[in-house]
A and B are shown apart, each in its own frame.
Chain A
């Protein structure tokens, strides 16, 4: 099989266990499989009791289900993490600068660095935001940057999520469950905490309140409601943040000011952590048939009376076609080389690239530029001939709509599966918080595991699982 070609985070491909995994390895060796199985059952029970569920779109009988949780932690050394952290902050800084520019004077287009139609033709570019400034010039307050590892020092950014990245509740819950299940293993390690994420988030949201708002800024979390697949996370975060969880009809805009209904009457809102897509957020400015949004919200934003986190129109920066330009974007705005590498990508809009992609489609991963969550993509090596033929038709019809990447040899981590401990592919989504005073990253992030042997798709909507991520002091 191809297993040998993947870099394993525990063994590093060699016979010895890497130092950061030393204690985890000992624990795995000394713990009989039935104890691990018992722990896994307990973990599942805990998750069920907490009620942390997830809805998979397109599946009828599974309105809500549990994301598989793997009890073996993923371990990252502090020095590895420090480098990654620097790279993440740099990248998010560049994304924010890019958004300020693209909705402002559009210098980068004048410099000829990006084809203008990538911006103006991008469905996530919002003309309505042009000429508007985000309070404190922060557009992306919460970013989820998907990273993969292919070797000892090889980290790649797979994609940027600059709209409303989800998954942070799993990061927090996973840690809590692990602490209850395996307290001994915990006391053996010095693990960087993640529990302060919500405090950091609240500080970040308060810091970006409109400059003219008086007193302690009022923050609220805007959800599309219980039918959204991430509703659990919305309610979880609102609870941890200590802010109101509101739906569109709880808010109203009067004379350019946003108010929330409370039992004490209307209360002014300064910052909205919104988890509603741009299209639905304001029926007066965007889709008029939206019943989820708040009419007049964009006007209140333009009047400088509310901060939206993330701002409207940030999707233009996490587009997969634009992703290929990220190294140039970092250099253009910051004058530095990008610390984090991009996965080599073929832009199917370019004729040569399209030709190459069609010739090598069996080896590549082809993605829709605006797709997310593992939908609308083709994993060449794992697709049947019929699937490839079907996909190629779509590709040829609209090459602009696709990019292709090599199937990365994603690193593996030990996971506890049906038949014992076995390596499974993982990725990592760290969450970068940006407020008025700069960016912070909680050590670690959400590790997603492809629970099926050999599978490279880690998306939870496609049956991927999660595990706790430990950033530990180097031994």
Chain B
């Protein structure tokens, strides 16, 4: 499937930021399930985008700006061709052995409830167990209608306790409980093309590693393995590693000890359109 994506992020700063530095993970890379035909990122300000690769192999674009900055528009757009690989991610950039993805992070630290999720699944087959987990997570968590959860920062344990969350929270819950089951798991950010809806949202899901097969995607929101509707952008241990934007406004930092990252808040709009079947 050929998918054209226009991903726009509008940030507003109140009061105007004196300086700003951001790292963006908005650019996909090709692997067997997707081929990037054309992609560009535009920051509508006078700055230089420097592209590097982070430790997980994701493209990272950094820029810094001198203020005052009231609003800032960032656009990532392009065309991607996707293929259904039954969720298996092959020929992706891998910088670490799977063992690394057994690490806990602050956002994915397991508690008793997260460990219990996986413990209920009875199967000897690793893939079956992960599919079982997919169902269990979906049952335990309601999906917020607004896709990305507004209250970011929730840990997997908190989200599970709340019983609902955005795509990010569901992915975190899956990652944390898969790791508790002993399966290396990671967080993936990207886009999900939904034919029925007018505009799609940013999406998140998880990947778990199974020996002899490799990395397999699991999308707890739709309770499926990713297929040609999924466009994979970045992966990491949790949302902090793979999320689209990390920003620090330098103006706020100059006010001692009172930094709230993204305090001024930014609107987050994404739309994906079907360009045409292959």
Contacts and interface: CB of A to CB of B under 8 A. Distances in A.
Contact of B55 (A128, A299, A303): A128
A408 to B, nearest CB: 33
Contacts of B96: 120, 127, 130
A287 B99 CA distance: 22
A299 B95 contact: no
Given A299-B62, A302-B52, A121 B257 contact: no
Interface string A226-262: 0000000000000000000000110011111000000
Contact of A291 (B95, B237, B257): B257
A229 to B, nearest CB: 18
Interface in B26-57: 48, 50, 52, 54-56
B65 to A, nearest CB: 9
Contacts of A288: 240, 246, 261
Contact of B253 (A128, A131, A295, A303): A295
Given A120-B96, A289-B261, A299 B253 contact: no
Interface string A297-318: 0010011000000000000000
A131 to B, nearest CB: 6
A296 interface: yes
B126 interface: no
Contacts of A299: 23, 50, 52, 62
Nearest to A103: B55
Contacts of B177: none
Contacts of A256: 50, 62
Give chain A's interface secondary structure class. loop
A129 interface: yes
B237 A127 contact: yes
Contact of A296 (B21, B103, B256): B21
Nearest to B62: A299
B55 A252 contact: no
A283 interface: yes
B95 A295 contact: no
B55 A283 contact: no
B256 A295 contact: no
Given A253-B21, A296-B248, A120 B259 contact: no
A284 B246 CA distance: 6
B127 to A, nearest CB: 23
Given A248-B253, A252-B19, A291-B257, A296 B97 contact: no
Contacts of A131: 55, 95
A291 B248 CA distance: 10
Nearest to B65: A254
A303 B19 CA distance: 20
A20 to B, nearest CB: 49
Interface residues of B, number: 34
Contacts of A285: 23
Contacts of B50: 255-256, 299, 303
B64 interface: yes
Given A249-B253, A253-B21, A288-B246, A117 B102 contact: yes
Nearest to A227: B257
A116 interface: yes
Contacts of A252: 19, 21, 250, 253
Interface in A252-296: 252-256, 283-285, 287-289, 291, 295-296
B52 A283 contact: no
Given A127-B55, A253-B21, A302-B52, A117 B256 contact: no
Nearest to B250: A252
B55 to A, nearest CB: 5
A452 to B, nearest CB: 37
B21 A284 contact: yes
B100 interface: yes
Nearest to A290: B259
A127 B56 contact: yes
Nearest to B18: A252
Given A130-B55, A131-B95, 13 more contacts: A117-B102, A120-B100, A121-B99, A121-B102, A127-B96, A127-B100, A253-B21, A254-B21, A284-B247, A288-B246, A295-B250, A296-B62, A299-B52
21 contacts: A116-B99, A117-B99, A123-B103, A128-B55, A129-B55, A249-B253, A252-B253, A254-B19, A254-B21, A254-B64, A283-B261, A284-B21, A284-B23, A284-B246, A288-B240, A295-B21, A295-B253, A296-B21, A299-B62, A302-B52, A303-B50
| 5 closest A-B pairs by CB | A295-B248, A120-B100, A291-B259, A296-B21, A130-B55
